[in-house]
Each structure stands twice: as structure tokens, then as C-alpha cells.
Amino acid sequence: MLDLRMTDDIATCHALRRVVFIEEQNVDAALEVDGRDGDALHVLARMDDTPVGCARILIAGDMAKIGRVCVLRAHRGTGIGQALMRAAVQELRARPEIRRAKLGAQTHALGFYAALGFVATGPEYLEAGIAHRDMVLDLSA
């Protein structure tokens, strides 16, 4: 059974992100662990009490940036990523001062985020050696 909730368990989120970003995608550890986790909100997904995915939310004024969204390989394609994103957006919608959510999507995942209502903006760019595009969701709609 999938359990999604906000968490202060940053160590578990770091462990998940290490597997997905550092080990699988070869992101430099110094880029992945950027020192901003203490200022962020975190969503953790557990399947039968086992951590399987997470997402991070950074808030600045009326804008929130959702990032570090990851799901362990064995659990991809099961809807956990969508559930994580819906939980993050639900958390933001509960905060009326936040008007927009944005994220930097790896280009292979543009369709995934578009299906959740995010709209691509701006040009493609490299982040940690991986092609990305910014995407935005208007939370006031």
C-alpha cells in the first residue's frame, strides 16, 4: 500500500536521491546535495513501509520550486511519481500565498509533467549534464 506524506526525514530522501541521481544518472554528489534541504518541504513515498520515492519543495515568495523528484527504478511506471507530484501540488494549493509552481524537467519527462498540468517555458538547458526545460503550473487556476 502506498503511503505519501510530508516528512522531516531528510536522510531517507538523501538515500533515495543518491540511488537515482548520483548512482543511476551520474550527477555529481556536490550538485545533488546542495545544502538547501533544511529550507525545503519534503514529500516521501513509502510502499509497504519501504521508502520508494521523494520530492522536494523550495518556497520563495509566491513561487514554489518542486525538484529532486525521484522514484526507485523497481517502482517506476506504477503511478508513484504522479502521486508524489499530486501530493506536492496539493501541499502548495493549501498555501494561498503561493501562486505558481515551477520545476526543471529532464526533457525525457516533459510529457509526464505536462500530463499533470505543467507547461514548458523557455529553452532547453543543461543541468548536471542532463537536458532540462523549465515548466510552470498556475496554482490560482
16-68 confidence digits (pLDDT tens): 999 999 999 999 999 999 999 999 999 999 999 999 999 999 999 999 999 99
- pLDDT the model gives residue 140: 85
Spatial contact of 33 and 68, defined as CB atoms under 8 Å apart: no
Q: How many CA atoms lie within 13 A of 60 on its CB side?
A: 5
Burial of 70 (0-12, 13-18, 19+ CB in 10 A): buried
Average pLDDT for the chain: 96
Which domains, from first to last, does the chain contain? 2-102 (3.40.630.30)
- pLDDT the model gives residue 101: 98
- pLDDT the model gives residue 83: 97
Strand partners, 35: none
Whole-prediction pTM: 0.94
- Distance between CA atoms of 93 and 100, rounded to whole angstroms? 9
